[in-house]
């Protein structure tokens, strides 16, 4: 781990170990609860599976994985952290 990094929001140079930064870890995952399955015939289910396989074949491994789970880490300076904390989605 290097001693210097930058704030991912404002670009300020930060030094690790000096209480100048926050490390934000974000984990996103797809909703694991399936609540509404359509009433399909076996032929329709087979067709839908085939369609999904064809669709998956056009995507990279990363794209497929990120549809289910993603993790990222951002580094923020003290000022940007407090702004982020007040409105993390904005």
Q: Which residues pair with 13 in a beta bridge?
A: 6
φ, ψ of residue 29 in degrees (nearest 5): -145, 155
pTM, rounded to two decimals: 0.66
CA pair distance 73, 86, nearest whole angstrom: 18
Q: Which residues pair with 23 in a beta bridge?
A: 75
DSSP letter, residue 20: -
Q: What is the tens place of the pLDDT at every residue in 1-59?
A: 569 999 999 999 999 999 999 999 999 998 888 777 788 888 888 898 899 899 999 99
Length of the chain: 90
**Confidence class of residue 84 from pLDDT cuts 50, 70 and 90?**
very high
């Amino acid at each position: 781990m290097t001693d210097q990094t930058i704030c991912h929001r404002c670009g300020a140079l930060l030094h690790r170990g000096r209480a100048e930064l926050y490390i934000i870890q974000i984990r996103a995952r797809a909703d694991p609860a399936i609540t509404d399955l359509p009433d399909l015939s076996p032929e329709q289910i087979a067709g839908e599976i085939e369609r999904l396989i064809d669709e998956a074949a056009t995507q990279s491994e990363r794209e497929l994985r990120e549809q289910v789970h993603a993790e990222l880490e951002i580094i923020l300076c003290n000022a940007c952290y407090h702004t982020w904390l007040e409105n993390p989605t904005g």
